[in-house]
């Protein structure tokens, strides 16, 4: 499978936040995991890193002229290189995630949360939560809205919701405006990494009760 098949990417806000080191740990984890699967976002991150580094250096150099800045930016643009190809690994989880699970998918300590869905909470700082979700093929996650931002990265299989189809490497960025019901596609069980910075809003009473058990 070629990496260019990824069609849902990180936005600039997330890449800049990651480059600046200002994201909650859970968000940094999902950005790093997507970047290990996605050449396109890795290249965009390298540009933000380069510009950020130049800006920091220049702010320490008083005599930097406007011409100098233009030259620097031109050099960055001209010098942008294709990122080094990532080593092919056979695992399901990219390396940043393996650090949190202490292994690949077989090391996950799943907990059942109902309807065949399983999850494992990952330990990150308290500003946001990260979890792995296992959704059997054809199974739906309860319909819900969002109070803050929810990012969902597909690691195995695929899911669909009202907006589109998401396959391995695709990331869905959901906010207050989106109400959706993700359904795992037929064919393979779906494994996702999901992070949220606020609890989800479920519409039905049963999912609200389940929410307590799922800690979401
Ligand atoms: Zn991407
Ligand atoms: Zn959602």
Judged by its nearest atom, the ligand closest to the C-alpha of residue 195 is 2
Work out the mean pLDDT of the chain and round it to a whole number. Answer: 84
Tell me the two tokens of residue 165.
């189809």
Helix (H) or strand (E) holding 131: strand 129-135
- For the chain, give every domain's residue range: 12-97, 104-214
Task: Specify the long-range contacts of residues 66-70, CB closer than 8 Å, at least 24 apart.
Answer: none
Cα–Cα dist 1/21, whole Å: 31
Residue 80: per-residue pLDDT: 46
CATH 2.60.120.10 fits 104-214, yes or no: yes
Q: Are 145 and 176 in contact (CB under 8 A)?
A: yes
Greater confidence (117 vs 199) lies with: 117
DSSP 28-81: HHHHHHHHHH-HHHHHHHHHHHHHHHHHHHHHT-TT--HHHHHHHHHHHHHH--
Per-residue pLDDT reduced to its tens digit, 179-212: 999 999 999 999 999 999 887 776 666 666 666 6
Burial environment of residue 85 by CB neighbours within 10 A (0 to 12, 13 to 18, 19 or more): exposed
| Strand pairing class (144-146; 150-156) | unpaired
Mean pLDDT (whole number) for 25-41: 96
Whole-model pTM: value is: 0.79
Mean pLDDT (whole number) for 100-115: 94
Tell me the two tokens of residue 136.
């059997």
Judged by its nearest atom, the ligand closest to the C-alpha of residue 6 is 1
Q: Are 151 and 194 in contact (CB under 8 A)?
A: yes
Cα–Cα dist 54/76, whole Å: 9
Mean pLDDT (whole number) for 40-56: 88
Cα–Cα dist 58/197, whole Å: 34
CA 1 to chain centre: 20
* Protein residues near ligand 1, an ion, with CB under 5 A: 9, 38, 40-41
Q: Among 10-14, 27-31, 65-69, 104-108, name the one with the lowest average pLDDT.
A: 65-69
R_g of the chain computed on alpha carbons: 19
CATH number of 12-97: 1.10.10.1320
Cα–Cα dist 57/50, whole Å: 11
CA of 201 to the centre of ligand 1 (A): 27
pLDDT > 70: percent of the chain: 76
CA of 180 to the centre of ligand 2 (A): 6
Band (pLDDT 50/70/90 cuts) for residue 83 is very low
Residue 52: per-residue pLDDT: 80
Cα–Cα dist 210/108, whole Å: 21
Q: What is the CB-side half-sphere exposure of residue 156 using CA atoms within 13 A?
A: 18
Mean pLDDT (whole number) for 89-118: 92
């Amino acid at each position: 499978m070629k990496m260019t098949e990824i069609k849902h990417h990180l936005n600039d806000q997330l890449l800049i936040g990651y480059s600046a080191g200002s994201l909650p740990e859970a968000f940094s984890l999902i950005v790093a995991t997507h970047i290990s699967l996605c050449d396109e976002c890795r290249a965009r991150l390298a540009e933000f890193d380069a510009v950020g580094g130049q800006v920091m250096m220049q702010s320490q150099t008083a005599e930097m002229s406007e011409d100098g800045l233009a030259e620097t930016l031109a050099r960055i643009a001209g010098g942008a290189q294709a990122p080094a190809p990532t080593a092919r690994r056979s695992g399901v989880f990219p390396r940043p995630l393996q650090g949190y699970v202490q292994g690949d998918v077989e090391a996950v300590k799943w907990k059942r949360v109902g309807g065949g869905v399983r999850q494992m909470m990952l330990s990150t700082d308290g500003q946001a939560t990260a979890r792995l979700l296992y959704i059997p093929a054809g199974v739906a996650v309860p319909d819900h809205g969002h109070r803050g931002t929810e990012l969902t990265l597909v690691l195995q299989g695929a899911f669909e919701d009202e907006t589109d189809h998401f396959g391995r490497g695709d990331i869905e960025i959901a906010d207050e405006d989106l109400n959706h019901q993700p359904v795992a596609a037929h064919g393979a069980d779906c494994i996702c990494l999901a992070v949220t910075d606020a609890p989800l809003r479920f519409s039905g009473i049963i999912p609200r009760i389940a929410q307590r058990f799922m800690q979401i």
